[in-house]
Structure 1
Amino acid sequence: MTTIWERAERDATAFPFDDAMASDTAFLMPIVLKDCGEVVTKAPTDNDVQYVAGDIFQSIPPANTVFLKWILHDWNDDECVRILKNCKQAIPPRDAGGKIIIIDMVVGSEPSDIKHVETQVLHDILMMVFNGVERDEQEWKKIFFEAGFKDYKIVPLLGVRSIIELYP
């Protein structure tokens, strides 16, 4: 059986996953920068940014910060720990500015009105197709600590999305 990721890679025209993620980023990032500017205030101001293709399950190139947007909820706990361990190897210690910035869903952090509950249920059904998991803070914490991280901060952002800062 072909996975959704294999299909997206093989047939970008019929399954424009990259376009959908680019649209989501164009919508979300102005909100992130406006409402949660402290997450990026210490980022370098020069234009020395490199984009490097790779495989998060193999290794991640050295960086001060690793940014993961809508990534971890697609994977089970063991795979998330593996990804985060690779991230941890790529960044310097916290006192040298190392951190991981995650934008993902934190269940239970949003208001519990009926629209959010319905959205959560529909999203949970979708995640079953990917073998992914939506997690509450305690489930995230378990993964973070198992991957060797010492501290984290969760900032609710927009609807079901939160920014998670993760520190070695």
Structure 2
Amino acid sequence: MNKLAKGLLVTALATSVLGVAACGNQSSDNKTEDTKQTSTQESVAKKPVSKYPFPSDITETGDAKIVLTSDSGSSENGNVPVVFASSDDILIQLGLDAYDFDGSKQSFIYVDKIFSETNQFGEETTTSVDLDQEMGHLKPGVHTVSIVQFENDDPKKGAVTVYTQAKYEVKEKK
């Protein structure tokens, strides 16, 4: 090989090695940054923040009602159904029957006064509510599921037109 070919080959190899090394360093920098972001996200996630704050000083109003169901029974007639959960459980669903809601409005579902999701309920609707370990919904004890409808579907400024709730209990799974 002549000197020019050897020079080009050495330059190409050197560039390739530097490129791989730079990619490796960039990758580890990204991993460090990803780890920092994950740590930050986990610490933020430990403090439940409600997208729509639960209305203050309200009492049950309207004709609507909800019934929660689990394998242990239902919340009908003031009963408190039981759910068994362990720290390994990430998400458990609880049955939810909704009756006599205004189907033209959104229903805002709260678990322990923390916003969970919106849904559309009518005269009789059967669905489920997600109980999330990260949000504290699966800690042992009694918890409350509330459904609120607001004037103009505005949970920040609208007056409460419907508010009903039911309780469930979490017991430690052995």
| The two structures share one fold, judged by TM-score above 0.5 | no
Q: Which has the larger radius of gyration?
A: 2
More strand, by proportion: 2
